[in-house]
Structure 1
């Protein structure tokens, strides 16, 4: 009889927690997650008390129907009153406990800008099949991107920038068929960009700068119809620029600066929809294609620190707008064209070339 009563009590408790609050197992997982972290200044975990983690637990929200934890949103840089009262940004140490993987209905995990969180991305995170957002920017997380990250078919945002992540970009990452925003900037990632990167058909931003990525730029990137922002700067990329990048429908920003890219500038890049183009600090050679016209609109064209030769294209004067132009530190020669955009540029845009002359440099 006593055993029967215990079973009934357990069932009633489970029903009560399901209807009125988060399941005890989820609360236990959250408390184990909290135990691995230390936040000494703001007291953001002070609210993590009581038996219902779905109400008034800072940064935690639950699904309205299942009452299971759906979101963890902890940002170390926020406009929340907690930060305003403290007159400081957040600082947190510790690591992300694998206990977080017990929260099987998680849709988003944001543990960002805490500056002191170390350890690795828990490998079990790839079992969270409902996960849409993983944002761990601005910590000191190390280790590698989980090899089977591609299992997260619902993932739309993967942001692990400004950490100490090493290793290669896993081939399985190209299986993230819903991914729209990829930010791997400022880590220690090495090896090549996966050859099948172009499978990321929903991707609109790919930010991979400030790593040690090597090899060639995969031509398959040009198959990503929605891609508007591609930043591969400050890596060890080599080879030539694929001509197909200039044929992408919505690519507006292309940053390839500070690599080891060689060959010539594809004509397609200068007749495309790209409005911010930075190819500086590479080993590009040959002439700058003379293909500008009334439809050319550039906020930035930076070709500095290359091996470009020949004259400045005269058709640049026909462009509808060029905000910033830098051709310095090349082997250009001849007269700088007169008129716009050249009239508003200073000498630093043309300095350290073989034999350029004309305003704003020396008279020809």
Structure 2
């Protein structure tokens, strides 16, 4: 997962938008890698797409009514040999491949009739509203769901657990509420979950990634929600490449997310209510690039071991209860005072010198 590091110069909203754009680009590349269609559009898919279009105001997608070859329509990608629709791509970001669109209304249930769909992407569509249709559960080959920066709402549907091929789930920057379904943990291939910038409540399900192969890197972003409770202890056995829990109401001791052998490049735990002793924490020095534990209730000192994280380019440990001398040199060569401000008794560069 590509993440934009949090810092004091970038607002949470702006950062979230940038994050979505980068995430969208990655998924767009996946979709556009689908071979260009040469076979004629499958008649059942054509029927489903015409029903899809008729659910929105007239001429929302005008080129869809000018030809029966749906594989040539904007936003549609087909299998080269069969003519079956494999992905839907509707976006108003900077790298779409068609003119700006405005889908006004609910996502039509006819999406579920496109039985060969592998990926769907609906992004930066502020007038797309309502819940996800249950008919999505029919798409047993669906690998990628990317729905961000919309006004879709309601709960994160538990029927998503009925999609056995699902690998990537991005439903960020929308209006989803309620709890995260524990049933998502039953998906053995799910390795990427981004539910950030919604109104989600409750706890983080311990079942998430519980069936994922231990050698597969997982990405989790739940930033800017209203989640509470402890970070699940079960996450100790998950190989997170990136975990972002910033801006919730999480409590407890998540030291099990750290460890010098962990593969994480990004650990964002800032702006929660976490409380633990940082003194003996070992950092994933081989890969760590971004570390945010600011605005918590963390105490203890900062281990000299962190200097071995040679890729570390961003750190925020501000607004905690830390004490002692800040390590100097190594990856800490470009730190600023605000990265460590408002602690109990930290001292040394870039803060005032320690008292002798």
Q: Distance in 2 between matches of 1:295 and 1:235?
A: 27
Q: Provide structure 1 residue ranges, at least 5 long, that are not aligned to the other structure.
A: 1-18, 84-88, 337-341, 351-356
SS at match of 1:243: helix
Q: Which has the larger radius of gyration?
A: 1
Among residues 215, 218, 221, which one is paired with 2:232 in the alignment? 218
Q: Residue in 1 aligned with 2:26? A: none
Match of 1:243 in 2: 256
Q: Identify if the C-alpha distance between structure 1 residues 207 and 295 changes in structure 2 by more than 3 Å, giving closer, same or farther.
A: closer
Cα-Cα RMSD: 2.7
Select 1:104's aligned residue among 115, 119, 128: 115
Give the structure 1 partner of residue 295 of structure 2. 281
1:34 is aligned to 53
Aligned residue in 1 for 2:81: 65
Q: 2:63 aligns with which of 19, 31, 47?
A: 47
| Paired residues for 1:203-214 under 5 Å | 203-214=217-228
Deviations, residues 321-353 of structure 1 (Å, cap 9, x unaligned):
54335110111155x2xxxxx3xx5xxxx4xxx
- Give how far 1:292 is off: 4.1
Deviations 1:252-299 (A, max 9, x none): 110000111112226334364423110001111233334445555521
Match of 1:131 in 2: 142
Give CA deviations for 1:41-95 in whole Å, capped at 9, x if unaligned: xx76111025524332111122233322211111111345754xxxxx6543211
Q: Which runs of 5+ in 2 are unaligned?
A: 1-37
Instruction: Find the counterpart in structure 1 of residue 23 from structure 2.
Output: none
SS at match of 1:113: strand
Residues 282 and 167 of structure 1: CA distance in aligned 2, closer, same or farther (over 3 Å): same
Partner Cα distance (1:51, 1:248) in 2: 56
Paired with 1:107 and 1:185, the residues of 2 have a C-alpha distance of: 23
Deviations along 1:93-151, one digit per CA (max 9) or x if unpaired, are 21101111011111111111112210111122122001011111110000112113122
1:126 to 1:203, Cα distance in 2 relative to 1, 3 A: farther
CA contact (8 A) 1:163 1:186 kept: yes
Question: How many residues align structurally?
Answer: 313
Give the C-alpha shift of residue 158 in structure 1.
Answer: 0.9
Instruction: Pick the aligned partner of 1:145 from 146, 152, 156.
Output: 156
Paired with 1:333 and 1:149, the residues of 2 have a C-alpha distance of 47
More relative contact order in 1 or in 2 (CA 8 Å, sep 6+)? Answer: 2
Instruction: Say if 2:182 is the partner of 1:171.
Output: yes
Partner of 1:228: 241
Cα distance in 1, alignment partners of residues 184 and 120 from structure 2: 18
Q: Distance in 2 between matches of 1:46 and 1:166?
A: 34
